[in-house]
A = this chain, B = another copy of it.
Amino acid sequence: MRTLKYAILGLVNRRSMTGYDISKEFGEELINFWSAKHSQIYPELKKLLDEGLVEYKIEITGDVLEKKVYTVTEKGRKDFLVWLEKDEKLEPPPKDQFRLRSYFSQLMEPSVYQKLLESQLDQRRKKLAKLNRLFLQYQQVPPFGSDKFGDYSVLAGARFREAAYIEWLELCLEAVKAEIKEKEK
């Protein structure tokens, strides 16, 4: 369903930007639920251009470096809004390699699985701590309609998600530890 199309359209709708800027955006807040390499972005921008959904002006940085600054067209804005307001069915649950490993975990030595779990936990906790630090910026929920609401909302969502993942890992870890104790008897 070409979702990248709408991610880009949405970003360019906020403010004019270059392909490089878009690329950077995917490395900031968006990274918690969307990403794309520049090798996807540039071809997609070209496509949007062909479809008349965006247009660009060339700006010169320094002496010669040409930047293509993209702006959304009226057609593009409409197209984006139609997508934005669409009520869709749930997507299939995301693929998750670690869950796949856990599904087959009985084939490992408990101590090996324990190590994997601890490594995951460590990484997830660090990630959550980072999200929490970002979250501190918000003294209160920014009002819906304000610039900050989107950022706040997805950040809050990412925190819930990570916290839930950690809960799950802890549960698994408990079970493995119990097993190891059992064995020692």
Residue A17 at the B interface, CB < 8 A?
no
- Contact residue range for chain A? 35 or more
Choose, from A46-54, A55-63, A138-146, the stretch at the interface.
Answer: A138-146
Q: Is the CB of A93 within 8 A of B32?
A: yes
Residue A7 at the B interface, CB < 8 A?
yes
**Residues of B close to A151: CB separation below 8 A:** 103
Chain B: CB-nearest residue to A33? B99
Q: Is the CB of B87 within 8 A of A182?
A: no
Chain B: CB-nearest residue to A77? B107
Residue A95 at the B interface, CB < 8 A?
yes
Q: Is the CB of B143 within 8 A of A103?
A: no
Known: A94-B94, A144-B178. A85 touches B108 (CB 8 A): yes
**Residues of B close to A100: CB separation below 8 A:** 3, 6-7, 10, 33-34
Chain B: CB-nearest residue to A127? B90
Known: A29-B103, A100-B3. A161 touches B164 (CB 8 A): yes
Q: Is the CB of B90 within 8 A of A123?
A: yes
Q: Is the CB of A89 within 8 A of B123?
A: yes
Residue A184 at the B interface, CB < 8 A?
no
Q: Is the CB of A94 within 8 A of B92?
A: no
Q: Is the CB of B153 within 8 A of A10?
A: no
Listed from nearest, the 8 A-B pairs whose CB atoms lie closest are A94-B94, A164-B164, A33-B99, A144-B179, A160-B164, A157-B168, A103-B150, A33-B96
